[in-house]
Each structure stands twice: as C-alpha cells, then as structure tokens.
Chain A
Amino acid sequence: GPPSPAHRPRVCSRVRSRNSALSLLDPWPYLPSFPPSRRGRYWRCCSRGAPGSVMGSRASTLLRDEELEEIKKETGCEFGQITRLYSRFTSLDKGENGTLSREDFQRIPELAINPLGDRIINAFFPEGEDQVNFRGFMRTLAHFRPIEDNEKSKDVNGPEPLNSRSNKLHFAFRLYDLDKDDKISRDELLQVLRMMVGVNISDEQLGSIADRTIQEADQDGDSAISFTEFVKVLEKVDVEQKMSIRFLH
C-alpha cells in the first residue's frame, strides 16, 4: 500500500541531520540548495550559527532577496549598507532567533554607559513588544541616514522618507515623550533631565531648568510642549548634521 505519512518526515530529518553534522565546522556555502535557484536567492550574511544547529533554525538567519528590496525601498539605504547592518544584527542576536531583545542592546558597553541608553533602546521596540526584528531595526536606524540633496526633490507624492528633517525631529521628540501622548509634560522633561545629569544637580535646580525650557517653548499655554512647538524651538538647529551617521565607503 502507499507509505504512511509517518515515513515522510523521517527522510527529511535524515537529510537534515547530515547537513547539520557538516555545518558543525564547515557549512555548505550556498544555502539552502545546490544548485541555487535564480529566483529567491538567499544571501548568507555572516551568520555564525551554533554548531550542530538544525537547518530550519539556520534558515531564519538568512536574508531573502525580496526582503532586501523591501527594506531598500522603505529606508532608502544602499544594498551594501543593508547587508553590513544585517551582519551587525546577527552578531548582536545572541539567542539566534532572528530578533533582538533589550538585553542584546544592553550588552554593548558604549550604549550601556550612555545616560540616555535606556530611552534609545526603547525607541527600537514598538508599543508593548519585547523583541525587534531586522525590519524594525532598520526602520529605526534609517532615521539617522544623512539627507541627500538629490533626494529632496524626488518623490513628492510618495510617503515622507524616514530620514527627513521632520522624522528626525520626531525621533528626538519621542525620546522625551515617555507616555507617548504627543506632549512633553513637565514631569517627563524632569525625568529625562534626571537621566542625563544623574545625581549631580538638585531637584530644585532641575525643576527651574525644566520650567524655563517649557516657558520658552510653550505657545498655546498648556504647560507642555507639543510637536509643533518642539519643531519651532529647534528651527535654527542643524538637525541634518547632528542626527546623521555616515557610512564609510
């Protein structure tokens, strides 16, 4: 009679275990099949997988051509930059499940000693979530892409690029706006200030700094800073230079 369904998985698992034994020391360079099909090619971006890991979990650390295209369109980053950042993403991903957690970020010493480290890490995680995948990682990083001149006049009808001046300012605004209500209240400003100065300034002095800042920025008299007021205060600041990271090529 016909082979029972129980036989089929065994054949697959035999192939799998043979491959994973070899992937112990010298992984086959072109995953997942040879010869590689022209469509949907996989890019093996420096995935230093755990020895003896099953092929299935290894495949999740690969980046497909289609995903690359989508990320390129969304963020405007170049092909080489995206693969480079993917290598970085996988090297930070110690759990090797294709996502980063807050602990993965905290492991970077230079970020852990940054006074606003926790707020910056928070910017990567969408509301209520504890893991960020590569798309989300790129989306947040894209805010810091330099504004190219030839892009300013491009796609006027399309969505605003992630690295526009307005979106960069929005990123900074969200660092202050702890409860995400689109307003920076006195309390929120005080909390962020406290993060930046530590124990070196007294409550009273910090309070007066916060009051002065809100007074200067507030125009509609609600004792809080809205995004429009925030933009107005910073209209003379060179946001492009202060919030951009350049790739060396």
Chain B
Amino acid sequence: MEGAELAGKILSTWLTLVLGLILLPSAFGVSLGISEIYMKILVKTLEWATIRIEKGVPKKSGLKNAASGGIIQRDESPMEKGLSGLRGRDFELSDVFYFSKKGLEAIVEDEVTQRFSSEELVSWNLLTRTNINFQYISLRLTLVWVLGVIIRYCVLLPLRITLAFIGISLLVLGTTLVGQLPDSSLKNWLSEMVHLTCCRICVRALSGTIHYHNKQYRPQKGGICVANHTSPIDVLILTTDGCYAMVGQVHGGLMGIIQRAMVKACPHIWFERSEIKDRLLVTKRLQEHIADKKKLPILIFPEGTCINNTSVMMFKKGSFEIGGTIHPVAIKYNPQFGDAFWNSSKYSMVNYLLRMMTSWAIVCDVWYMPPMTREEGEDAVQFANRVKSAIAVQGGLTELPWDGGLKRAKVKDTFKEEQQKNYSKMIVGNGSFNLESD
C-alpha cells in the first residue's frame, strides 16, 4: 500500500507542477522563461560537443565542407554549349560524352531526391539520427551522449507525452462544448481561445520555440494563407499565432475525432476521400468560404507533400485559381535542435511523433509576407511561381521547378521528349527537319 500511496503522491505533485508551470501560463499566453534557460544550456552543450569532435577528427576526412552546397562541380551550361558546337553542326561520336556526363552527375548528386530525406548537419547535435559520419572520439563525448539519451527519454519524453495528451483532450472537449452554443460573436471568441490555448500547450509538448516576424502581415479573414510544407507540425506552428480554417481529407481514428470536434466550433473544410478528386467541387467550396468575409482565412500547402525544408518545390496551381488574396508565409526550421521533416515513406506517424518528442527542441522562424493578388494577364501557374519565389527568398530556401509528387511518382516523359527535341534541332540544324509523325 505504501508503494501505491507514494506513486499517487508523486503523480499528484507532477500534475500540479505541470498545471502551474505550463498549462496556466499557456492559457494566458504568458511565458515563464523556463524554455529560454533550457535552450541556453542546450546551445552551450552542443557547442562544447562540436569543439570536441573537431579536435578529435583527423584532417584527412575533410567532410566539413561537403555538407554545404553540393559535393561535385555541376556543369550548368545548356546543351548547345555542352556539345561545343554552333547550331547546325552534324552528329559526332563524341556527342555521347555530354549525355553520359550529365547522367553520372545526376547519379552522384541530384537536386530532387535529396529533398525527400532529412537534411544533413554540419556538426553533430548529439542525436544519432542525422549525421554524416561517425568515429569514436572520446569517452567523455560518449558519456555526454548517453546522458543526453537519458535526459531525453526519461525526463523530457514523459513530460511531453503528458502535455500532448492534455492538449488534445482539452481541444476535443473544449471544441465540443463550444460547439453546443448558438452562433454568436461569443462563440467565435470562445472557439478562438480554446484553439489558441490547446495549440500553445501542444507546442510546449514539443518544446517548440517559434519566432514570428512581421506580425502586421498576419493573414486576414477572407484570404488564403499559403506556406511551404515540411511536416504536420507546420499546422500547429501557424495556428498558435492565429486561427485558420483548415482544408483536408477526413481521416479515421484519432485524427478523425479531432477533425469532427474542431468543425463544430468553427467552420473548417473537410472533404471526403471521394470528393477530393473532383477539382471543381473543391474549388467551389473554397470560393464559397472566402466569399464570406467573416470566415477565417484558409490554410493551404500548395506543394502537396512534405519537403525537407532546404528548398521549395513546385506549387500546384489549384489554390491559385480560386481568386482572393494570397497571404504567403515562409517557415524555416533550425535543424540543429531537432529534425522536423516527416519522411512519410520511411516513418509512420507514431514513429515521427516519438522522434519529435525525443529531440531537443523544435526551433523555427515564421515570416509573414505582404499579401499578393493575381495580376492582369498572369495565369495561375505564373502566379504560383511568383508566390513560390517570394517564399523561397524570404525563408532562405532553394527554389526548384520540380514537382514534390516525384517523391512517389515517376517523372513525366515530356521532359525527356523536350531534351530529345533540342538535340535533334542541333544536329540537323536550320530548323528544317522532317518529323517522323505529324
């Protein structure tokens, strides 16, 4: 019996501490400064670890430079220059050199596949998940790593799971209760409070430190908020600073429960799996939503899939055809403290959440940007590219024209046909060639 009493006492002290130090401040949007102290200690420790490694690694490996900016010298010259000829030159046996070099360069390092796995870090952050190479350095460093594992799994993980549990249950409960009220401004205000509080609790469940820049450009009602996508956490990060109407598929299980509860309190847009294929239906519903100026701004991720936060890939034009004001937002994570990218083909959602909760922290910057609208004579694709460039520049990310869907799908044949056409023009020249089929 004594053991049970002791366990009960510990549990109640634990919960009181959590309530007092974390939950109540979140409800009022106040910070006690505990996370700042934690971050300072963490930064100091990681710096120490980096210095130890640099002392220990022999000079011959030379890997430090490799992580930044590519490992080989890519020849970006167009086909004409690469084949070293003027237009109208004839075919030569050496033409095959150009294609084979380009092919081998792509095999050693290509722009696309590296975006679908976690970014490699230049210096070790005491997590054995994303690192380039390992070598036994010293006993002290190993002990620090073991200490880190103990802290992360025995201290941080239980705390975070408790917070996540409390946060999600409060969300479901709160939104269901608020949903019972009749439509009024009180209901909207209450629903906002519930959303914000629960999101703040969930962010603390990940030890998230978020810096918001340019808050004056925060998305307004009746607009569409567009951001680059790295993980499901993006949603959490954005909703901590404002309320959005979310768009997405109806899921089953826990996600489904959360979705159904949320939609009671404020109008989110959830689609059935069958409806999402009907592009016209989706566009119509979104247009109806933004036409009502009292409704919350819609949150959309035009890339359509998670990218590893080093680049922005092609924005799908669907969201840009709706009309309305686009509010771009750039999100950039600091990979030093924890890798936020969800590699959905490798890790399940549960595995991903566990990784999140056993990292040091999630640190990110969010930049709100001035609103953009489609200009005269600009079609949806050009508008999408314009917004994409703006986000890439703001977040310090590389801009790529490739489709994020290449994570799972094969590349279209049209690109190869384009290359073949260019080459044909070169070897026959003068634009006068017979087409095989017309």
Contacts and interface: CB of A to CB of B under 8 A. Distances in A.
B66 A199 contact: no
B147 interface: no
A239 B230 CA distance: 43
26 contacts: A24-B351, A25-B358, A28-B128, A29-B128, A30-B134, A43-B134, A46-B133, A110-B110, A112-B411, A112-B416, A114-B106, A141-B107, A144-B101, A196-B99, A198-B416, A200-B433, A213-B92, A217-B93, A233-B93, A237-B94, A237-B97, A239-B97, A243-B97, A244-B101, A247-B72, A249-B62
B410 A112 contact: yes
B61 interface: yes
A26 B149 contact: yes
Contacts of B96: 116, 172, 175-176, 192, 196
A197 B99 CA distance: 12
Interface stretch (B16-24, B219-227, B422-430): B422-430
Nearest to A242: B97
Given A175-B100, A245-B73, 4 more contacts: A26-B127, A111-B106, A201-B434, A247-B72
Interface stretch (B111-119, B239-247, B256-264, B291-299): B111-119
Contacts of B142: 29-30
Nearest to A51: B351
**Candidate in B69, B351, B354, B424 with the most chain A CB atoms within 10 angstroms:** B424
Contact of B70 (A217, A242, A243, A248): A248
A83 interface: yes
B318 to A, nearest CB: 22
Interface stretch (A6-14, A152-160, A202-210): A202-210
Contacts, number: 219
Interface in A201-248: 201-205, 209, 212-213, 217, 225, 230, 233-234, 237, 239, 242-248
Nearest to A47: B134
Interface of B: 60-63, 65-66, 69-73, 90-114, 117-118, 120, 127-129, 131-136, 142, 145, 149, 152, 346-347, 351, 354-355, 358, 402, 406, 410-411, 415-417, 419-421, 423-425, 427-428, 433-437
Contacts of B73: 245-248
B351 A242 contact: no
A209 B91 contact: yes
Contacts of A45: 132-133
Most central of B60, B65, B354, B423 by chain A CB within 10 Å: B423
A172 B104 CA distance: 12
A95 interface: no
A79 B428 CA distance: 45
A15 interface: no
Interface string A71-110: 0000000011001110110011000000000000111111
B424 A108 contact: no
A89 to B, nearest CB: 10
A234 B94 contact: yes
Given A108-B112, A111-B107, A196-B423, A205 B93 contact: no
A212 B92 CA distance: 10
B106 A110 contact: yes
Contacts of B107: 105, 108, 111, 120, 141
B274 to A, nearest CB: 30
Interface residues of A, number: 76
A130 B27 CA distance: 60
Contact of B135 (A43, A120, A212, A249): A43
A186 interface: no
Contact of B71 (A28, A46, A248): A248
Given A26-B129, A196-B95, A198-B421, A80 B110 contact: no
A61 to B, nearest CB: 13
Given A197-B420, A213-B91, A46 B436 contact: no
Nearest to B118: A48
Given A26-B149, A248-B73, A196 B129 contact: no
A131 B107 CA distance: 16
A91 B94 contact: no
A241 to B, nearest CB: 9
A31 to B, nearest CB: 9
B106 A172 contact: no
| Most chain A CB within a 10 A radius of its CB, from B66, B106, B107 | B107
Interface in A27-61: 27-30, 35-36, 41, 43-46, 48, 50-51
Given A197-B427, A200-B421, A110 B127 contact: no
Contacts of B346: 48, 50
Given A80-B66, A144-B101, A27 B128 contact: yes
B61 A80 contact: yes
Contacts of B93: 172, 176, 213, 217, 225, 230, 233-234
The winner among B90, B99, B131, B351 for most chain A CB atoms within 10 A is B99
Contact of B63 (A44, A83, A246): A83
A25 B117 contact: no
Contact of A79 (B60, B111, B136): B60
A135 to B, nearest CB: 16
A141 B109 CA distance: 12
A246 B71 CA distance: 9
A139 B114 CA distance: 23
